[in-house]
């Protein structure tokens, strides 16, 4: 991948850290205020997708692996979260945990297959595996086929707090999102994250330094799948629905698009990308016919003209890392 | 050529000076699949049908103000839910109509119930909408899976097609269609010799057709939809299934599918619909207006779903006027709609039952041979009319909680 | 006449041997499309190092172009079989010249992302113009009817599909592996700078290769038009299956792509008889198994 955020990385670490903290503070402030100005359901959905895109970006931005099948983890987590909440009467936090765990297991299995090949083969394998699991979801009884699992109860958090209140729900989503964000930030800046970046830059060299790169790649894959699952599980509780849309290949494409628009390999990019793409889907709902074409044009434009993405461009202009 | 969607709103205010007349003002949302799989059976054509309905109603009731918005659910239940929520909460839409794709329709039906608004289903097929999952805020207009199974199944058995083989899409929708049709076939003295379940979006059906062929069943029931139905009929024509004496029964086939097949391939196919554009002068005149409203690309023809959107809006507006424009309580409006008998040019006289099911006659058609077809869109000949009281599932069998005991 | 049965542990389903032959033949027909499409992907990949995600859309465009040719000019199936691939091939060349050529120096993943975007654009435009339900395209009169082979009824058109794709596939293989032109191509993949030093216009060769790969997809599309639904979404899911085929075969070898395509068609056909419910997942399952046993693919070289 083209490295877009590395300029001056070693020379001004403090400056980068400061700008990231400022950006983080601005983001938290905006998110605290958002539900009072914007339709809360929309913000919650945007946060779930932002977390999904962050999880995806962990893989492509920091390990250089393009997964074209992330809908698998998002969708299956959302199914299990919805099902456990509805059929087994799990409390929301347990339902989300169940979904997330499902995604982790799926990620472990799919990941150990996919990392056996590199580059575009990796992308094709993840896509094929996700398509297979889409068919399984379509045919399985518990997923409700094309009806999906509907009317999922939001329930009571820890059995106490009623999440039918949108503001209470929003608080939960915000906490989940911030947890995911900080967790990813921590991974990237840990020694483990440094090894991942080394693999991205030059895998043979990492191997010759004695790192078992396959193991690192697999752990990164599972982490990414798990976080995607966290996003999917939460989404199922928020929107009270899990459906085939979540697990089908266009969803995998959408998360790629979100990260690409925001900026691959930037920590804030996927969030901006998710908001931009979701807003676009809403604004374009009345001109539905052109949604597909416009998405395609954005893809092409991003690849040809703005490979840094929105956040990447801003960071580049300001000579900071975001 | 170009299909146009109403971008913003079609707001027509006919302020007649008659101050005495009660001002009725409603907002209707056409929620459909504008861009994906079902855009041809619903989509922009539904918006066009809605415009005609509003124009017709305002001709007779000039003091009624109607605002129309349209939205694209892209076949995604979550997007459908979001649009419905936002329309009801923020944009003050009173009624949502259409919604092809049962998954999205079930979701929207729930939103309508939660917000006590109104939802008229035209595009979706699932009979659950007026069965186990019915509610007091939803009316199901045009058709459903039970009616399709019953119409085609019964008529085929009665005309001699008493042994069946099913080609079933392997997911909930196909299973339901197969189950309902099997019940009808067996109830009427027919026999089911076998079935094969194929995955969604199968390209090549020849393998399944060979199995159907060797079953020697007289009727091959296609419990699938859209591209799967088209692919199976294409392969059946190639393998000479119909020429070999077996007949095809499409359990969910729309005019648009027949158009996609061409008569040479589709000839002899039996199917049930509740509206056919070429059935009589009224329908033909309506179709002409639908085309001039920009209903379809490339000279396609309106489906029963489009007709249902038209008729549903007319009846809704009648109820709105009867309530003097007090449409904020969805349950009250639905009760009014059930109370007034329905009467519109396309479906004739009918009623809406307690479970929300609109009942009207259904028609069993057979697709014409190419040489019988005289002009574009001359697709069907009528084989049987199923009267309204037999066309839909009996009220008691649906298991709708609204129907007491 | 004997019967072939699965072991009881696999369900114990039996079919007569005659029916089995029929199913094998049908699988081969099915495989023709996999072979043509994976061959196109392999040719493009070999030269451009790009996975052409637009391949499915270009297959769909082939079928639509055949329909448009019929509507606008009245020319039927046979002329369309030549003209449509040419038109779509030229469109491919335009895509390569205006977009793809800027990406060769970047990570290959950008090629995948770009072609994915182009596929969305093509599918969206076609859907806006022609709707989603599909368009009619009938069998050419000369290939109507069929032959009774005793064990099955073989429609003439299906026989033609298998025959034509075998010829096209092995023709392509021959050109690439056994002719001078093919030698240049292979050399340019290995070492473009050196080949350019011999005075060969490598960029033009790349452009033409892409055009040819795309034309192969369009050719498959025209072949599919009379028997499959001609709809905007006809290529979108097929291409994912073809990706799996390519992963199984490994893209290093032209012959590998062809053989894997036909072979998997047959396996999928048999699955339709014994486990119809699994017939759309079987190829993905095989892919998983192959990855476990031979990560580089059946015909691939370890990178």
**For the domain that residue C185 is a member of, what is the CATH number?**
1.10.3470
- Is it the case that residue B235 has pLDDT exceeding 80? yes
pLDDT in tens, C65-87: 999 999 999 999 999 999 999 99
In this prediction, residues A166-180 reach a mean pLDDT of 94
Which pLDDT belongs to residue C127? Answer: 87
Instruction: Name the DSSP class of B313.
Output: H
pLDDT in tens, A95-110: 999 999 999 999 999 9
- Which chain A residues are closer than 8 Å to B44 by Cβ? 289
User: What's the pLDDT band for A290 if we cut at 50, 70, 90?
Assistant: confident
DSSP string, B27-44: EEEEEE-SSSTTTTTSHH
Backbone phi, psi, residue B12, to 5°: -115, 115
* Rg from Cα positions in chain C: 20
ipTM of this predicted structure: 0.88
- Which chain A residues are closer than 8 Å to B82 by Cβ? 41-42, 45, 239, 282
From residue B386, alpha-carbon distances to A224, B223, B272 in Å are 56, 20, 9
Which of A64, A106, A114, A128 to mutate: most C Cβ within 10 Å? A128
Mean pLDDT over each residue of chain B, to the nearest integer: 87
Nearest-Cα residue of chain C relative to residue A200 = C107
What is the C-alpha separation between C153 and B76, in angstroms, rounded?
Answer: 42
Residue C241 located in a structural domain: yes
In this prediction, residues B322-349 reach a mean pLDDT of 93
CB contact under 8 A, B208 and C230: no
Q: What is the distance in angstroms between the Cα of C250 and the nearest Cα belonging to chain B?
A: 24
Q: Is C117 at the interface with chain B, CB within 8 A?
A: no
Which pLDDT belongs to residue B8? Answer: 36
- Is it the case that residue C303 has pLDDT exceeding 80? no
Report which listed range, A40-44, C80-84, C125-129, is most confident. Answer: C80-84
pLDDT in tens, B290-315: 998 876 655 689 999 999 999 999 99
Which pLDDT belongs to residue C2? Answer: 58
In this prediction, residues B86-91 reach a mean pLDDT of 90
- Is it the case that residue C279 has pLDDT exceeding 90? no
User: What's the pLDDT band for B372 if we cut at 50, 70, 90?
Assistant: very high
Mean pLDDT over each residue of chain C, to the nearest integer: 88
CB contact under 8 A, A147 and B172: yes
Which pLDDT belongs to residue C250? Answer: 82
Q: Fold identical between B24-143+280-360 and B146-273+364-391?
A: yes
Percent of chain A with pLDDT over 90: 63
- Is it the case that residue B12 has pLDDT exceeding 50? no
Which pLDDT belongs to residue A4? Answer: 47
For B261, residues 6+ apart whose C-beta sits below 8 A from its C-beta are B230, B233, B234, C134, C136
User: What's the pLDDT band for B15 if we cut at 50, 70, 90?
Assistant: very low
**All chains having 3 or more CB pairs closer than 8 angstroms to chain A:** B, C
Q: Which H, E and C letters describe A248-284, residue by residue? A: CHHHHHHHHHHHHHHCCCCCCHHHHHHHHHHHHHHHC
β-partners of residue B12 are B66
Domain spans of chain A, in order of start: 34-248
What is the C-alpha separation between C207 and A212, in angstroms, rounded?
Answer: 40
- Is it the case that residue C46 has pLDDT exceeding 60? yes
Q: Is B234 at the interface with chain C, CB within 8 A?
A: yes
- Is it the case that residue A285 has pLDDT exceeding 90? no
Residues within 8 A of B (CB atoms), C 70-109 only = none
Nearest-Cα residue of chain A relative to residue B172 = A145
- CATH fold, domain B24-143+280-360, is Rossmann fold (3.40.50)
Which pLDDT belongs to residue B289? Answer: 92
User: What's the pLDDT band for B20 if we cut at 50, 70, 90?
Assistant: very low
In this prediction, residues C218-244 reach a mean pLDDT of 92
CB contact under 8 A, A148 and B103: yes
Residue C179 located in a structural domain: yes
Which of C97, C107, C114, C117 to mutate: most A Cβ within 10 Å? C117
Which pLDDT belongs to residue A7? Answer: 45
pTM (predicted TM-score) = 0.88
Q: What is the dihedral of CA A257, A261, A264, A270, to 10 degrees?
A: -80
What is the C-alpha separation between B363 and A31, in angstroms, rounded?
Answer: 56
β-partners of residue B381 are B366
Q: Which of C134, C157, C279 sits opposite B199 (nearest CB)?
A: C279
- Which chain A residues are closer than 8 Å to C119 by Cβ? 296
Q: Which of A125, A253, A307 sits opposite C116 (nearest CB)?
A: A253
Q: Is A118 at the interface with chain C, CB within 8 A?
A: yes
Cβ contact B25:B65 at 8 Å: yes
Tally of domains in chain C: 1
Percent of chain C with pLDDT over 90: 48
| DSSP H or E stretch at residue B97 | strand B95-98
Looking at domain B146-273+364-391, its CATH class is alpha beta
Q: What is the distance in angstroms between the Cα of A286 and the nearest Cα belonging to chain B?
A: 5
Mean pLDDT over each residue of chain A, to the nearest integer: 89
* Rg from Cα positions in chain A: 19
Cβ contact C68:C189 at 8 Å: no
Q: Is A293 at the interface with chain B, CB within 8 A?
A: no
- Which chain B residues are closer than 8 Å to C30 by Cβ? 203-204, 207
Q: Which H, E and C letters describe chain C, residue by residue? A: CCEEECCHHHCCCEEEHHHHHHHHHHHHHHHHHHHHHHHHHHHHHHHHCCCCCCHHHHHHHHHHHHHHHHHHHCCCHHHHHHHHHHHHHHHHHHHHHHCHHHHCCCCHHHHHHHHHHHHHHHHHHHHHHHCCCCECCCCCHHHCCEEECCCCEEEHHHHHHHHHHHHHHHHHHHHHHHCHHHHHHHHHHHCHHHHHHCCCCHHHHHHHHHHHHHHHHHHHHHHHCCCCCECCCCCHHHHHHHHHHHHHHCCCCHHHHHHHHHHHHHHHHHHHHHCHHHCCCHHHHHHHHHHHHCCCCCCCCCC
From residue B99, alpha-carbon distances to B71, B104, B306 in Å are 10, 7, 11
CB contact under 8 A, B8 and A286: yes
Which pLDDT belongs to residue A287? Answer: 64
Chain CA centroid to CA A245, Å: 16
Structural domain harbouring C215: 17-126+149-293
What is the C-alpha separation between B356 and B403, in angstroms, rounded?
Answer: 10
Q: What is the distance in angstroms between the Cα of C65 and the nearest Cα belonging to chain A?
A: 19
Which pLDDT belongs to residue C64? Answer: 96
For C193, residues 6+ apart whose C-beta sits below 8 A from its C-beta are none
Kindly report which listed range (B106-110, B371-375, C132-136) carries the lowest average pLDDT score. Answer: C132-136
Residue C67 located in a structural domain: yes
Kindly report which listed range (A3-17, A41-55, C178-192) carries the lowest average pLDDT score. Answer: A3-17
Kindly report which listed range (B83-97, B131-145, C4-18, C240-254) carries the lowest average pLDDT score. Answer: C4-18
CB contact under 8 A, B39 and C131: yes
Residue C133 located in a structural domain: no
Which pLDDT belongs to residue B36? Answer: 77
Q: Which of A135, A235, A286 sits opposite B5 (nearest CB)?
A: A286
- Is it the case that residue A215 has pLDDT exceeding 50? yes
- Which chain B residues are closer than 8 Å to A37 by Cβ? none
- Which chain A residues are closer than 8 Å to C257 by Cβ? none
Cβ contact B202:B152 at 8 Å: no
- Is it the case that residue C129 has pLDDT exceeding 90? no
What is the C-alpha separation between C249 and C296, in angstroms, rounded?
Answer: 9
CB contact under 8 A, C129 and B1: yes
What is the C-alpha separation between C11 and C154, in angstroms, rounded?
Answer: 29
Cβ contact B4:B44 at 8 Å: yes
What is the C-alpha separation between B314 and B320, in angstroms, rounded?
Answer: 10
């Amino acid at each position: 991948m083209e490295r877009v955020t590395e300029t001056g990385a070693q020379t001004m670490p403090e400056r980068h850290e400061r700008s990231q903290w400022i950006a983080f503070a601005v983001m938290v402030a905006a998110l605290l205020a958002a539900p009072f100005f914007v339709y809360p359901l929309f913000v919650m959905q945007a946060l779930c997708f932002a977390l999904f895109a962050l999880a995806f970006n962990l893989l492509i931005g920091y390990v250089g692996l393009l997964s074209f099948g992330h809908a698998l983890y998002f969708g299956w987590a959302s199914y299990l979260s919805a099902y456990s909440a509805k059929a087994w009467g799990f409390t929301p936090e347990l339902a989300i945990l169940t979904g997330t765990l499902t995604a982790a297991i799926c990620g472990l299995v799919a990941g150990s297959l996919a990392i056996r090949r590199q580059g575009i083969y990796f992308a094709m394998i993840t896509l094929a595996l996700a398509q297979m699991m889409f068919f399984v979801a379509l045919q399985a009884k518990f997923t409700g086929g094309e009806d999906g699992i509907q009317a999922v109860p939001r329930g009571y958090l820890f059995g106490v707090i009623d999440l039918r209140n949108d503001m209470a729900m929003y608080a939960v989503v915000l906490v989940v999102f911030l947890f995911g964000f900080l967790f990813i930030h921590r991974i990237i800046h840990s020694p483990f994250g440094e090894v991942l970046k080394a693999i991205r830059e030059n895998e043979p060299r990492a191997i010759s330094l004695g790192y078992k790169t396959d193991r690192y790649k697999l752990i990164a894959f599972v982490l990414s799948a798990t976080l995607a699952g966290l996003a999917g599980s939460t989404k199922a509780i928020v929107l009270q629905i899990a459906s085939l849309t979540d697990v089908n290949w266009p969803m995998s494409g959408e998360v790629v698009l979100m990260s690409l628009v925001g900026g691959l390999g930037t920590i804030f990019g996927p969030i901006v990308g998710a908001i931009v793409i979701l807003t676009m889907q809403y604004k374009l709902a009345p001109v539905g016919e052109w949604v597909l074409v416009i998405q395609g044009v954005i893809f092409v434009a991003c690849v040809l003209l703005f490979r840094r993405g929105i956040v990447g461009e801003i960071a580049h202009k300001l000579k900071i890392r975001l | 050529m170009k299909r146009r969607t109403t971008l913003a709103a079609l707001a027509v205010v006919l302020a007649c000076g008659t101050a005495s007349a009660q001002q009725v003002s409603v907002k209707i949302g056409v929620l459909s699949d504008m861009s994906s799989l079902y855009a041809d059976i619903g989509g922009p054509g539904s918006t066009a049908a809605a415009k005609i309905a509003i124009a017709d109603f305002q001709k007779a009731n000039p003091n009624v103000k109607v605002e129309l918005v349209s939205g694209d659910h892209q076949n995604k239940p979550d997007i459908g839910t979001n649009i419905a929520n936002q329309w009801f909460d923020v944009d003050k839409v009173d009624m949502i109509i259409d919604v092809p794709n049962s998954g999205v329709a079930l979701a929207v039906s729930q939103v309508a119930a939660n917000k006590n608004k109104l939802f008229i289903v035209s595009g979706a097929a699932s009979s659950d909408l007026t069965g186990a999952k019915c509610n007091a805020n939803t009316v199901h207009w045009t058709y459903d899976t039970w009616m399709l199974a019953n119409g085609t199944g019964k008529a085929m058995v009665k005309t001699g097609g008493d042994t069946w083989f099913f080609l079933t899409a392997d997911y909930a929708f196909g299973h339901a269609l197969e189950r309902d049709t099997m019940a009808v076939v067996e109830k009427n003295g027919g026999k089911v010799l076998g079935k094969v379940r194929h995955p969604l979006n199968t390209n090549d059906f020849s393998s399944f057709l060979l199995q159907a062929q060797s079953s020697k069943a007289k009727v091959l029931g296609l419990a699938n939809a859209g591209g799967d139905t088209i692919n199976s009929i294409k392969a059946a024509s190639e393998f000479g299934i119909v020429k070999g004496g077996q007949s095809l029964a499409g359990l969910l086939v729309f005019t648009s599918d027949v158009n996609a097949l061409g008569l040479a391939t589709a000839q002899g196919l039996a199917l049930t619909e509740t509206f056919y554009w070429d059935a009589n002068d009224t329908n033909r005149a309506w179709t002409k207006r639908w085309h001039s409203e920009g209903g379809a690309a490339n000279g396609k023809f309106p489906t029963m779903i489009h007709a249902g959107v038209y008729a549903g809006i007319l009846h809704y507006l009648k109820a709105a006027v009867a309530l003097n424009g007090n449409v904020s309580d969805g349950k009250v409006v639905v009760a009014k709609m059930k109370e007034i008998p329905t009467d519109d040019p396309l479906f004739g006289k009918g009623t809406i039952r307690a479970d929300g099911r609109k009942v009207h006659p259904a028609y069993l058609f057979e697709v014409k041979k190419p040489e019988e077809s005289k002009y574009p869109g001359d697709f069907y000949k009528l084989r049987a009319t199923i009267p309204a009281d037999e066309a839909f599932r009996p009220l008691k069998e649906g298991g709708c909680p609204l129907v007491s005991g | 006449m004997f019967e072939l049965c699965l072991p009881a542990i696999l369900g114990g389903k039996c079919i007569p041997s005659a029916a089995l032959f029929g199913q094998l033949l049908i699988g081969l027909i099915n495989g023709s499309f996999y072979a043509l499409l994976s061959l196109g992907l392999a040719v493009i990949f070999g030269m451009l190092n790009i996975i052409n995600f637009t391949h499915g859309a270009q297959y769909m465009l082939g079928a639509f172009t055949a329909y448009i040719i019929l509507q606008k000019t009245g020319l039927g199936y046979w002329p369309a079989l030549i003209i449509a691939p040419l038109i779509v091939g030229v469109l491919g060349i335009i895509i390569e010249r205006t977009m793809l050529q800027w990406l060769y120096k970047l990570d290959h993943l950008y090629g995948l992302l770009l072609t994915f975007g182009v596929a969305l654009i093509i599918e969206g435009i076609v859907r806006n113009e022609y709707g989603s339900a599909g368009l009619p395209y009938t069998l050419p009169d000369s290939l109507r009817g069929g032959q009774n082979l005793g064990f099955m009824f073989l429609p003439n058109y299906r026989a033609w599909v298998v025959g034509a794709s075998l010829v096209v596939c092995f023709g392509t293989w021959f050109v690439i592996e056994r002719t001078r032109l093919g030698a240049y191509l292979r050399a340019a993949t290995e070492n473009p700078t050196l080949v350019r030093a011999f005075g060969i216009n490598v960029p033009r060769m790349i452009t033409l290769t892409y055009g040819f790969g795309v034309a192969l997809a369009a050719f498959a599309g025209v072949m599919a038009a009379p028997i499959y639904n001609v709809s905007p979404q006809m290529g979108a899911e097929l291409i994912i299956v073809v990706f799996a085929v390519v992963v199984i075969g490994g893209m290093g070898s032209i012959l590998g792509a062809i053989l894997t395509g036909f072979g998997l068609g047959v396996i999928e056909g048999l699955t339709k008889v014994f486990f119809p419910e699994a017939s759309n997942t079987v190829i993905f399952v095989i892919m998983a198994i192959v990855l476990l046993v031979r990560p580089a693919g059946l015909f691939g070289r370890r990178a």
